[in-house]
Amino acid sequence: MQFGNKHVVVTGGGTGVGAAVATAFSQAGAKVTIFGRHEEPLIDTANKINATPIACDVTDRDGLDTALTRATAANGPVSISIANAGAALSAPFSTMSSSDLSAMIDVNLVGVFNLWQACLPQLMEQGWGRLIAVASTAGLKGYQYVSGYCAAKHGVIGLTRSVALELARTNITVNAICPGFVDTPLLDRSVENIIQKTGISHRDARQSLMANNPQNRFIEADEVASTALWLAGEGARGVNGQAISICGGET
């Protein structure tokens, strides 16, 4: 019951990495609230792990503030804020529109900004807290055909490092987790996109992404969840402003 007195909020908590993170914190004794745009998977996950599901869009600050008010009423002040919601659009740079770029920035970067800024007053009042972003190796390097996604995730790393310095003397740490390709529904959509555009088999499409990892495998969601648990614990109190890569050695 390491986090028995903590309230954890996880965005994109209904499926994939977000659900794994929410599950890990619930099992560690925390009160957990999961946010997401789609109510059905939120409720399904919440029922399995005894979490509070609240539907909201992280790009809508007013809606997020309302959701956070509900979460606080249900589970008390937020201590650990985990910005996990994200999306990836695959397209050549030459065919992207400005609205495509804006969509990537909004959900992947502005969504982190909105959640962290909304939660920060509660962390400051407690004199302790954790701000964690689930970013990506796309925040540390470039990948073909996802330039908007890479730009947004690079922005998350910059935001993380800057906010970490501002809060360094407050007992609030700020860090990003940067997994490589994780075996989740988001990866499945990337595989389908490759198949549609190239005509290769499902197996070959998955292998083309897996080949980025020197361990020749996909990262599992529980690896991201374990890292989040560690960052939230007292043993990581000196870890601040970091972008922790979980990628099997990918460079």
Q: Name all domains of the chain by residue range, CATH numbers in brackets.
A: 7-181+220-246 (3.40.50.720)
* Total-model pTM: 0.95
The first and second tokens of residue 233, run together, are 């614990």
Q: Which pLDDT value is given to residue 151?
A: 98
Q: Residue 105: what residue type? A: I
Of the candidates 25, 116, 149, 181, the residue annotated as catalytic is: 149
Q: How many CB atoms lie within 10 A of CB 45?
A: 24
Q: Which pLDDT value is given to residue 20?
A: 98
Average pLDDT per consecutive 10 residues, the chain (251 residues; last block may be shorter) = 92 97 98 97 98 98 98 98 94 95 98 98 98 98 94 98 98 98 85 85 90 94 98 97 97 89
Q: Which pLDDT value is given to residue 192?
A: 86
DSSP helix/strand/coil, 219: strand
Which of 88, 89, 87, 68 lies closest to 78 in space, CA to CA?
68
Spell out the alpha helix ranges (H) of 51-132: 61-75, 98-105, 111-126
Q: Which pLDDT value is given to residue 129?
A: 98
Judge whether 143 counts as a catalytic residue: no
Q: Residue 241 in contact with residue 137, Cβ under 8 Å? A: no
Q: Which pLDDT value is given to residue 191?
A: 85
